[in-house]
Structure 1
Amino acid sequence: MKYSITVLLSVALASLSTACSTPGNFIITFYGYPDNSPPGPDTAHNCGGRNYKAGGSGTYNNPVTIATAPGELNVCEIVYLPLLTKYGRYEDDCAQCTTDYKNGQHHIDIWTGSSTTNGGQKQINCEDDLTPGGRYSIVRNPPTNYTVNAAPLFVAPNTCNSQNVHPNNRAHC
Protein backbone atom coordinates (compact mmCIF):
# COMPACT_ATOMS: atom_id res chain seq x y z
CA MET A 1 0.00 0.00 0.00
CA LYS A 2 2.82 2.40 0.88
CA TYR A 3 4.45 1.71 -2.50
CA SER A 4 1.17 2.44 -4.36
CA ILE A 5 0.70 5.76 -2.57
CA THR A 6 4.30 6.75 -3.30
CA VAL A 7 3.90 5.91 -7.00
CA LEU A 8 0.59 7.80 -7.27
CA LEU A 9 2.04 10.82 -5.49
CA SER A 10 5.10 10.81 -7.80
CA VAL A 11 2.88 10.68 -10.89
CA ALA A 12 0.69 13.50 -9.57
CA LEU A 13 3.70 15.70 -8.80
CA ALA A 14 5.27 15.00 -12.20
CA SER A 15 2.07 16.05 -13.97
CA LEU A 16 1.94 19.28 -11.95
CA SER A 17 5.49 20.22 -12.92
CA THR A 18 4.73 19.82 -16.63
CA ALA A 19 1.34 21.51 -16.71
CA CYS A 20 0.82 24.08 -19.42
CA SER A 21 0.83 27.71 -18.23
CA THR A 22 0.35 31.08 -19.91
CA PRO A 23 2.51 33.72 -18.26
CA GLY A 24 1.90 37.16 -19.72
CA ASN A 25 3.28 40.64 -19.81
CA PHE A 26 6.29 39.82 -22.01
CA ILE A 27 7.96 42.45 -24.13
CA ILE A 28 8.62 40.71 -27.44
CA THR A 29 11.30 41.98 -29.80
CA PHE A 30 13.29 40.49 -32.67
CA TYR A 31 16.95 40.03 -33.51
CA GLY A 32 19.03 38.41 -36.21
CA TYR A 33 22.41 38.04 -37.82
CA PRO A 34 23.26 41.76 -38.14
CA ASP A 35 22.39 42.79 -34.56
CA ASN A 36 23.37 39.67 -32.65
CA SER A 37 26.29 40.22 -30.29
CA PRO A 38 28.69 39.58 -31.93
CA PRO A 39 27.04 39.71 -35.39
CA GLY A 40 26.29 36.24 -36.70
CA PRO A 41 24.20 33.20 -35.80
CA ASP A 42 26.05 32.10 -32.65
CA THR A 43 24.00 31.30 -29.56
CA ALA A 44 24.91 30.91 -25.89
CA HIS A 45 23.38 27.43 -25.55
CA ASN A 46 23.54 24.27 -27.67
CA CYS A 47 20.00 22.99 -28.03
CA GLY A 48 18.54 20.37 -30.32
CA GLY A 49 21.80 19.61 -32.13
CA ARG A 50 22.15 23.08 -33.67
CA ASN A 51 25.76 23.40 -32.53
CA TYR A 52 25.31 26.86 -31.00
CA LYS A 53 23.64 28.28 -34.14
CA ALA A 54 20.32 30.15 -34.22
CA GLY A 55 17.57 29.05 -36.55
CA GLY A 56 14.28 27.22 -36.70
CA SER A 57 11.04 27.47 -38.60
CA GLY A 58 8.74 27.56 -35.57
CA THR A 59 7.38 24.00 -35.55
CA TYR A 60 7.58 22.03 -32.31
CA ASN A 61 10.36 19.85 -33.76
CA ASN A 62 12.22 22.85 -35.22
CA PRO A 63 11.45 25.78 -32.89
CA VAL A 64 12.73 29.25 -33.68
CA THR A 65 15.57 30.46 -31.46
CA ILE A 66 14.62 32.87 -28.72
CA ALA A 67 16.89 34.85 -26.44
CA THR A 68 16.06 36.01 -22.94
CA ALA A 69 17.61 36.62 -19.54
CA PRO A 70 19.30 33.70 -17.80
CA GLY A 71 16.78 32.34 -15.32
CA GLU A 72 13.70 33.66 -17.11
CA LEU A 73 13.17 30.31 -18.89
CA ASN A 74 14.99 26.99 -18.61
CA VAL A 75 17.87 26.57 -21.08
CA CYS A 76 16.53 24.75 -24.17
CA GLU A 77 12.92 25.14 -22.95
CA ILE A 78 10.34 25.14 -25.74
CA VAL A 79 7.47 27.63 -25.48
CA TYR A 80 4.63 28.55 -27.81
CA LEU A 81 4.40 32.11 -29.10
CA PRO A 82 0.75 32.94 -29.96
CA LEU A 83 1.89 36.31 -31.35
CA LEU A 84 3.61 34.41 -34.17
CA THR A 85 1.87 31.02 -34.11
CA LYS A 86 5.33 29.50 -33.68
CA TYR A 87 7.16 27.44 -31.12
CA GLY A 88 10.37 28.96 -29.79
CA ARG A 89 13.26 27.57 -27.79
CA TYR A 90 15.46 29.46 -25.32
CA GLU A 91 18.89 29.09 -26.94
CA ASP A 92 20.48 32.51 -26.51
CA ASP A 93 20.95 35.25 -23.96
CA CYS A 94 19.87 38.85 -24.44
CA ALA A 95 21.52 41.84 -22.73
CA GLN A 96 18.41 44.07 -22.80
CA CYS A 97 16.26 41.13 -21.67
CA THR A 98 18.59 40.64 -18.70
CA THR A 99 18.34 44.31 -17.71
CA ASP A 100 14.57 44.19 -18.05
CA TYR A 101 14.32 40.93 -16.07
CA LYS A 102 16.37 42.40 -13.22
CA ASN A 103 13.88 45.31 -13.21
CA GLY A 104 10.89 42.95 -13.01
CA GLN A 105 9.91 43.02 -16.71
CA HIS A 106 9.73 39.82 -18.79
CA HIS A 107 11.34 40.16 -22.24
CA ILE A 108 12.15 37.72 -25.04
CA ASP A 109 13.93 38.39 -28.32
CA ILE A 110 13.03 36.18 -31.31
CA TRP A 111 15.45 35.17 -34.07
CA THR A 112 14.66 36.33 -37.60
CA GLY A 113 16.23 35.24 -40.83
CA SER A 114 19.02 32.93 -41.76
CA SER A 115 21.87 31.41 -39.81
CA THR A 116 24.14 31.93 -42.84
CA THR A 117 23.11 35.25 -44.40
CA ASN A 118 23.47 38.72 -42.92
CA GLY A 119 20.40 40.72 -43.93
CA GLY A 120 22.02 44.02 -42.91
CA GLN A 121 19.96 47.13 -42.32
CA LYS A 122 16.95 45.69 -44.20
CA GLN A 123 16.79 42.88 -41.65
CA ILE A 124 17.05 45.32 -38.75
CA ASN A 125 14.26 47.40 -40.33
CA CYS A 126 12.18 44.22 -40.63
CA GLU A 127 12.77 43.42 -36.95
CA ASP A 128 11.42 46.87 -36.10
CA ASP A 129 8.38 46.27 -38.35
CA LEU A 130 7.75 42.90 -36.70
CA THR A 131 7.82 44.37 -33.17
CA PRO A 132 4.22 45.26 -32.33
CA GLY A 133 4.79 46.98 -28.99
CA GLY A 134 2.62 46.05 -26.04
CA ARG A 135 2.90 42.99 -23.80
CA TYR A 136 2.11 39.41 -24.75
CA SER A 137 1.62 35.95 -23.27
CA ILE A 138 3.59 32.83 -24.06
CA VAL A 139 2.72 29.19 -23.36
CA ARG A 140 5.15 27.25 -21.19
CA ASN A 141 5.06 23.45 -21.38
CA PRO A 142 2.85 23.68 -24.47
CA PRO A 143 1.20 20.74 -26.15
CA THR A 144 2.84 19.78 -29.45
CA ASN A 145 -0.24 20.29 -31.63
CA TYR A 146 -0.79 24.05 -31.72
CA THR A 147 -1.31 25.74 -35.10
CA VAL A 148 2.02 26.79 -36.62
CA ASN A 149 3.02 29.22 -39.34
CA ALA A 150 6.46 27.96 -40.37
CA ALA A 151 7.06 30.81 -42.85
CA PRO A 152 10.27 32.73 -42.14
CA LEU A 153 9.98 36.17 -40.60
CA PHE A 154 12.73 37.62 -42.80
CA VAL A 155 14.23 36.33 -46.04
CA ALA A 156 17.32 38.11 -47.40
CA PRO A 157 17.75 40.33 -49.23
CA ASN A 158 14.54 42.19 -48.38
CA THR A 159 11.42 40.09 -47.69
CA CYS A 160 9.81 40.94 -44.35
CA ASN A 161 6.79 38.84 -43.43
CA SER A 162 5.30 41.29 -40.94
CA GLN A 163 1.82 39.98 -41.84
CA ASN A 164 2.78 36.87 -39.81
CA VAL A 165 2.59 38.78 -36.51
CA HIS A 166 -0.80 38.48 -34.80
CA PRO A 167 -1.05 40.85 -31.81
CA ASN A 168 -4.64 39.76 -31.07
CA ASN A 169 -3.79 36.04 -30.68
CA ARG A 170 -4.09 34.89 -27.09
CA ALA A 171 -2.40 32.07 -25.23
CA HIS A 172 -4.57 29.18 -24.06
CA CYS A 173 -3.70 25.85 -22.50
Structure 2
Amino acid sequence: MAYTGKIGYHVLLRYDPGNASFYRIFAKRLYMNARTKKMLTVAGSAVLIFTGLYYRISGFHIPEGTPAGKVPSVVPPTRTPSPTRVPSPTPTAIPTPTPDIFSGLESEMFYITYYGWPDNSPPGDAIAYPKHRYPDAVHETAGGSGTFTDPVTFAAVTGSVDIGTVYYLPYIAKYVVMEDICSNCRQYNHIDIWMNSGPEFAGEVETCQRKWTRQQEKVITDPPPGLPVNHAPIFSRETGWCR
Protein backbone atom coordinates (compact mmCIF):
# COMPACT_ATOMS: atom_id res chain seq x y z
CA MET A 1 0.00 0.00 0.00
CA ALA A 2 1.04 3.60 -0.46
CA TYR A 3 2.07 5.50 2.61
CA THR A 4 -1.08 7.61 2.70
CA GLY A 5 -3.25 4.53 2.29
CA LYS A 6 -1.54 2.94 5.27
CA ILE A 7 -2.21 6.00 7.41
CA GLY A 8 -5.93 5.99 6.59
CA TYR A 9 -6.14 2.23 7.04
CA HIS A 10 -4.57 2.28 10.52
CA VAL A 11 -6.67 5.26 11.64
CA LEU A 12 -9.86 3.42 10.72
CA LEU A 13 -8.73 0.22 12.43
CA ARG A 14 -8.22 2.19 15.61
CA TYR A 15 -11.74 3.66 15.64
CA ASP A 16 -13.65 0.84 13.99
CA PRO A 17 -11.85 -2.52 14.22
CA GLY A 18 -15.10 -4.40 13.56
CA ASN A 19 -15.00 -3.48 9.86
CA ALA A 20 -11.31 -4.30 9.29
CA SER A 21 -11.90 -6.62 6.34
CA PHE A 22 -13.93 -4.01 4.48
CA TYR A 23 -11.37 -1.26 5.07
CA ARG A 24 -8.54 -3.58 3.94
CA ILE A 25 -10.29 -4.29 0.63
CA PHE A 26 -11.24 -0.63 0.20
CA ALA A 27 -7.65 0.49 0.91
CA LYS A 28 -6.21 -2.01 -1.56
CA ARG A 29 -8.50 -0.76 -4.30
CA LEU A 30 -7.53 2.81 -3.61
CA TYR A 31 -3.88 1.77 -3.71
CA MET A 32 -4.26 -0.17 -6.96
CA ASN A 33 -6.15 2.66 -8.63
CA ALA A 34 -3.56 5.15 -7.51
CA ARG A 35 -0.67 2.98 -8.70
CA THR A 36 -2.38 2.53 -12.05
CA LYS A 37 -3.43 6.13 -12.48
CA LYS A 38 -0.65 7.76 -10.49
CA MET A 39 -3.27 9.80 -8.61
CA LEU A 40 -3.14 8.47 -5.04
CA THR A 41 -3.13 11.49 -2.76
CA VAL A 42 -3.91 12.36 0.76
CA ALA A 43 -7.52 12.88 -0.41
CA GLY A 44 -7.91 9.13 -0.83
CA SER A 45 -7.14 8.50 2.81
CA ALA A 46 -9.45 11.36 3.81
CA VAL A 47 -12.33 9.80 1.89
CA LEU A 48 -11.62 6.44 3.50
CA ILE A 49 -11.45 7.96 6.99
CA PHE A 50 -14.64 10.01 6.70
CA THR A 51 -16.53 7.09 5.18
CA GLY A 52 -15.55 4.86 8.06
CA LEU A 53 -16.30 7.50 10.65
CA TYR A 54 -19.78 8.02 9.17
CA TYR A 55 -20.58 4.33 9.47
CA ARG A 56 -19.10 4.26 12.96
CA ILE A 57 -21.12 7.23 14.19
CA SER A 58 -24.35 6.01 12.60
CA GLY A 59 -23.96 2.60 14.26
CA PHE A 60 -23.87 0.76 10.94
CA HIS A 61 -21.81 -2.44 10.83
CA ILE A 62 -20.54 -3.87 7.55
CA PRO A 63 -20.66 -7.66 7.61
CA GLU A 64 -17.35 -9.52 7.34
CA GLY A 65 -16.42 -10.24 3.73
CA THR A 66 -18.72 -7.67 2.13
CA PRO A 67 -17.16 -6.37 -1.14
CA ALA A 68 -16.24 -2.69 -1.11
CA GLY A 69 -18.66 -1.90 -3.91
CA LYS A 70 -21.57 -3.72 -2.28
CA VAL A 71 -22.15 -1.74 0.89
CA PRO A 72 -25.73 -2.40 2.06
CA SER A 73 -28.10 0.51 2.48
CA VAL A 74 -28.51 2.02 5.93
CA VAL A 75 -32.07 1.49 7.11
CA PRO A 76 -32.99 3.72 10.05
CA PRO A 77 -34.73 1.95 12.92
CA THR A 78 -38.52 2.12 12.89
CA ARG A 79 -39.90 4.31 15.66
CA THR A 80 -42.95 2.94 17.39
CA PRO A 81 -45.55 5.73 17.80
CA SER A 82 -46.75 6.49 21.28
CA PRO A 83 -50.31 5.30 21.95
CA THR A 84 -52.98 7.99 21.72
CA ARG A 85 -54.35 8.88 25.11
CA VAL A 86 -58.13 8.67 25.22
CA PRO A 87 -59.59 11.30 27.59
CA SER A 88 -61.83 10.03 30.33
CA PRO A 89 -65.49 11.00 29.85
CA THR A 90 -66.77 13.76 32.10
CA PRO A 91 -69.61 12.49 34.28
CA THR A 92 -72.94 14.22 33.66
CA ALA A 93 -74.27 16.04 36.68
CA ILE A 94 -77.73 14.91 37.74
CA PRO A 95 -79.88 17.96 38.56
CA THR A 96 -81.41 18.08 41.99
CA PRO A 97 -85.20 18.04 41.75
CA THR A 98 -86.90 21.26 42.85
CA PRO A 99 -89.16 20.65 45.83
CA ASP A 100 -92.86 21.45 45.32
CA ILE A 101 -93.51 24.24 47.82
CA PHE A 102 -97.25 23.93 47.22
CA SER A 103 -97.37 20.25 48.08
CA GLY A 104 -99.99 19.58 50.75
CA LEU A 105 -101.76 22.95 50.31
CA GLU A 106 -105.45 23.04 49.43
CA SER A 107 -105.97 23.99 45.81
CA GLU A 108 -108.56 24.04 43.03
CA MET A 109 -108.58 24.70 39.31
CA PHE A 110 -110.13 28.08 38.45
CA TYR A 111 -111.13 29.98 35.33
CA ILE A 112 -109.24 33.27 35.68
CA THR A 113 -109.96 36.55 33.90
CA TYR A 114 -108.97 40.17 34.54
CA TYR A 115 -110.72 43.52 34.65
CA GLY A 116 -109.49 47.08 34.93
CA TRP A 117 -110.49 50.72 34.91
CA PRO A 118 -111.85 50.75 31.33
CA ASP A 119 -114.17 47.71 31.67
CA ASN A 120 -115.20 48.10 35.31
CA SER A 121 -118.87 48.91 35.84
CA PRO A 122 -118.93 51.85 36.03
CA PRO A 123 -115.42 52.58 34.66
CA GLY A 124 -113.04 53.33 37.49
CA ASP A 125 -111.61 51.56 40.53
CA ALA A 126 -114.73 51.41 42.76
CA ILE A 127 -115.49 48.05 44.38
CA ALA A 128 -118.65 46.50 45.82
CA TYR A 129 -117.15 45.79 49.24
CA PRO A 130 -114.99 48.70 50.42
CA LYS A 131 -113.32 48.29 53.79
CA HIS A 132 -115.17 51.14 55.51
CA ARG A 133 -118.41 49.17 55.06
CA TYR A 134 -117.03 45.62 55.09
CA PRO A 135 -114.35 45.12 57.74
CA ASP A 136 -113.18 41.83 56.23
CA ALA A 137 -112.13 43.67 53.06
CA VAL A 138 -108.63 45.11 52.72
CA HIS A 139 -109.04 48.11 50.40
CA GLU A 140 -111.36 51.04 49.87
CA THR A 141 -110.88 50.83 46.11
CA ALA A 142 -109.53 48.13 43.82
CA GLY A 143 -105.79 47.69 44.23
CA GLY A 144 -103.10 45.72 45.99
CA SER A 145 -99.49 44.74 45.34
CA GLY A 146 -99.97 40.98 45.75
CA THR A 147 -98.37 40.35 49.14
CA PHE A 148 -100.10 38.46 51.95
CA THR A 149 -100.90 41.71 53.80
CA ASP A 150 -101.76 43.66 50.63
CA PRO A 151 -103.41 41.18 48.25
CA VAL A 152 -104.80 42.21 44.86
CA THR A 153 -108.57 42.74 44.59
CA PHE A 154 -110.60 40.10 42.79
CA ALA A 155 -114.30 39.78 41.99
CA ALA A 156 -116.49 36.68 42.09
CA VAL A 157 -120.09 35.55 41.69
CA THR A 158 -122.25 36.96 44.49
CA GLY A 159 -122.35 34.55 47.42
CA SER A 160 -119.80 32.10 45.95
CA VAL A 161 -116.83 33.40 47.95
CA ASP A 162 -116.83 35.15 51.32
CA ILE A 163 -115.72 38.78 51.45
CA GLY A 164 -112.07 39.00 52.48
CA THR A 165 -111.23 35.45 51.32
CA VAL A 166 -107.58 35.27 50.29
CA TYR A 167 -106.27 33.04 47.50
CA TYR A 168 -102.80 32.60 46.07
CA LEU A 169 -102.07 32.21 42.36
CA PRO A 170 -98.74 30.46 41.70
CA TYR A 171 -98.63 31.41 38.03
CA ILE A 172 -98.49 35.14 38.80
CA ALA A 173 -96.96 34.68 42.28
CA LYS A 174 -99.45 36.96 44.02
CA TYR A 175 -102.04 36.80 46.78
CA VAL A 176 -105.56 38.03 45.90
CA VAL A 177 -108.57 38.97 48.05
CA MET A 178 -112.31 38.90 47.29
CA GLU A 179 -113.66 42.50 47.41
CA ASP A 180 -115.90 42.91 44.36
CA ILE A 181 -118.75 41.39 42.38
CA CYS A 182 -118.16 39.81 38.97
CA SER A 183 -121.27 40.37 36.86
CA ASN A 184 -119.87 38.33 33.97
CA CYS A 185 -118.89 35.30 36.05
CA ARG A 186 -121.27 32.34 35.78
CA GLN A 187 -119.66 29.79 38.10
CA TYR A 188 -118.14 29.76 41.56
CA ASN A 189 -114.67 28.79 40.33
CA HIS A 190 -114.43 31.79 38.01
CA ILE A 191 -112.62 34.78 39.49
CA ASP A 192 -111.96 38.16 37.88
CA ILE A 193 -108.73 39.80 39.08
CA TRP A 194 -108.14 43.55 39.17
CA MET A 195 -105.43 44.76 36.80
CA ASN A 196 -103.75 47.88 38.10
CA SER A 197 -104.85 50.57 35.62
CA GLY A 198 -106.27 54.04 35.09
CA PRO A 199 -108.19 55.86 32.39
CA GLU A 200 -105.11 55.86 30.12
CA PHE A 201 -103.93 53.00 27.88
CA ALA A 202 -107.36 51.39 27.54
CA GLY A 203 -106.30 49.30 24.54
CA GLU A 204 -103.12 48.13 26.24
CA VAL A 205 -105.10 47.14 29.34
CA GLU A 206 -107.47 44.94 27.34
CA THR A 207 -104.56 43.31 25.49
CA CYS A 208 -102.80 42.55 28.75
CA GLN A 209 -106.00 41.11 30.24
CA ARG A 210 -106.27 38.64 27.39
CA LYS A 211 -102.61 37.71 27.75
CA TRP A 212 -103.02 36.62 31.36
CA THR A 213 -106.45 34.98 31.09
CA ARG A 214 -106.42 31.24 31.88
CA GLN A 215 -109.13 28.66 31.27
CA GLN A 216 -107.78 26.32 33.94
CA GLU A 217 -105.20 27.42 36.48
CA LYS A 218 -104.18 26.14 39.89
CA VAL A 219 -105.25 28.35 42.80
CA ILE A 220 -104.19 27.82 46.42
CA THR A 221 -107.47 28.34 48.30
CA ASP A 222 -106.11 28.50 51.86
CA PRO A 223 -102.61 29.90 51.45
CA PRO A 224 -100.21 30.46 54.34
CA PRO A 225 -98.11 33.62 54.52
CA GLY A 226 -94.60 33.52 53.14
CA LEU A 227 -95.23 32.12 49.67
CA PRO A 228 -93.12 33.65 46.85
CA VAL A 229 -94.39 37.02 45.63
CA ASN A 230 -93.56 38.84 42.42
CA HIS A 231 -93.75 42.49 43.40
CA ALA A 232 -93.81 43.78 39.83
CA PRO A 233 -97.33 44.77 38.74
CA ILE A 234 -98.89 42.81 35.91
CA PHE A 235 -99.69 46.11 34.20
CA SER A 236 -98.15 49.56 34.67
CA ARG A 237 -100.75 52.32 34.63
CA GLU A 238 -97.97 54.90 34.19
CA THR A 239 -96.36 53.43 31.06
CA GLY A 240 -98.85 50.91 29.62
CA TRP A 241 -96.30 48.11 30.07
CA CYS A 242 -97.65 44.56 30.43
CA ARG A 243 -95.55 42.00 32.30
- Structural RMSD (CA): 1.9
1:127 Cα deviation after fit:
0.8
Q: How does 1:100-111 map to 2 (within 5 A)?
A: 100-101=187-188, 106-111=189-194
Q: Answer yes or no: is the 8 Å Cα contact 1:122–1:158 preserved in 2.
A: yes
Please identify the structure whose Cα radius of gyration is greater: 2
In the alignment, which residue of structure 1 is the partner of 2:161? 73
**CA deviation vs aligned residue, 1:120-172 (integer Å, no higher than 9, x gap):** 121111111222x33112112210010010211111342001xxxxxxxxxxx
Judging by fraction of residues, say which structure has more strand. 1
Q: Structure 2 length as normaliser, TM-score?
A: 0.51
Change (3 A) 1:128 1:95: same
Count of aligned residue pairs for this structure pair: 134
Which letter maps to 1:134? Q
Aligned with residue 50 of structure 1, among 139, 160, 172:
139
How far apart, in 2, do the equivalents of 1:61 and 1:117 lie? 27
How far apart, in 2, do the equivalents of 1:61 and 1:35 lie? 26
1:49 Cα deviation after fit:
4.9
In the alignment, which residue of structure 2 is the partner of 1:96? 184
Q: Answer yes or no: is the 8 Å Cα contact 2:138–2:150 preserved in 1.
A: no
Which letter maps to 1:100? Q
Moved over 3 A (4+): 116-119
1:21 aligns with 2:106: yes
Q: What is the DSSP-based 3-state SS (H/G/I as helix, E as strand, rest coil) of the residue aligned with 1:154?
A: coil
Aligned with residue 124 of structure 1, among 203, 206, 227:
206
Q: Answer yes or no: is the 8 Å Cα contact 1:113–1:119 preserved in 2.
A: no
Q: Which moved more, 1:85-94 or 1:71-80?
A: 71-80
In the alignment, which residue of structure 1 is the partner of 2:125? 41
Q: Which moved more, 1:69-78 or 1:142-151?
A: 69-78
Q: Answer yes or no: is the 8 Å Cα contact 2:129–2:180 preserved in 1.
A: yes
**Larger relative CO (CA 8 A, sep 6+): 1 or 2?**
1
Which letter maps to 1:95? S
Q: Percent identity?
A: 37
Gap regions ≥5 residues in structure 1 = 1-18, 162-173
1:87 aligns with 2:175: yes
In the alignment, which residue of structure 1 is the partner of 2:80? none
